[in-house]
Amino acid sequence: MSALIALVRHGRTAWNEERRIQGRADSPLTEDGAREVAAWPATLAGYGFSALYSSPIGRAALTAEALGRGLGLSVRMEPGLVEQEFGSWTGLTVPELRSAGLLAPQEAAGWAFTPPGGEARTEVLARSWEALSRLGRAHEGRSILAVTHEGVVRAVLYALLGRDYLPTEPKILAPRALHLLRAEGGCLAIEAMNLPL
């Protein structure tokens, strides 16, 4: 028996607006971000979620708490859903890294992308895949919601789509959208992507 796992990225934050790398650090949701999140339960309620999981990082946890209030669900923390560790790049902006010539070589590495002192994309995929597979087994026959981060969403979906995670590939993920996975027997499959919230 399978489980439906819905993935959603946290609401917009101050550092998102500045194009600043957050990784495991944190910044607060913007006013617009909090307003957007408060409206999501109207759409999400139709899925009949029986459980709500979240990355323990503040921006995801705050998003999940707001969704939980709207959906009548308590939030359970899942460490496997945390964002990629960006090491010494944490707090820097994308334009700063580009102008210093640091970003392009890492982007060209695809799945081997590993910020200095940080975590490889392959590691993000391994731990998030394990977490989602485990949650799927624990909730067979039901639907659950997981609040996570862009790095996790990309890693899982790109792996399932067979992408090389290279900058030459077309962008396919909406920044704030719902993605549905079907979990069964330790396997994950994409059921839908980029659904509006």
- Angle value at C-alpha 157, between 73 and 116, nearest 5 degrees: 100
Domain positions in the chain: 3-195
Q: Which of 17, 75, 64, 12 is nearest to 41 (CA)?
A: 64
- Angle value at C-alpha 37, between 71 and 175, nearest 5 degrees: 125
Whether residue 100 has pLDDT greater than 90: yes
Rounded distance, CA 13 to CA 89, Å?
Answer: 18
Give the tens place of pLDDT for each residue, 149-177. 999 999 999 999 999 999 999 999 998 89
pTM listed for this prediction: 0.96
pLDDT, position 186: 84
Domain 3-195 has what CATH class?
alpha beta
Whether residue 184 has pLDDT greater than 90: yes
Rounded distance, CA 44 to CA 66, Å?
Answer: 12
In contact, 162 and 114? CB cutoff 8 Å: no
- Angstrom CA distances, 175 to 35, 89, 139, 141, 197, stand at 16, 21, 27, 29, 11
User: In the sheet where 3-9 sits, what is the strand order?
Assistant: 75-77, 51-54, 143-148, 3-9, 178-184, 187-195
Band of pLDDT at residue 133, cut at 50, 70 and 90: very high
Instruction: Report the interhelical angle of 121-138 vs 150-161 (nearest 10°).
Output: 90
Whether residue 146 has pLDDT greater than 90: yes
Rounded distance, CA 46 to CA 141, Å?
Answer: 16
DSSP-based three-state secondary structure for 147: strand
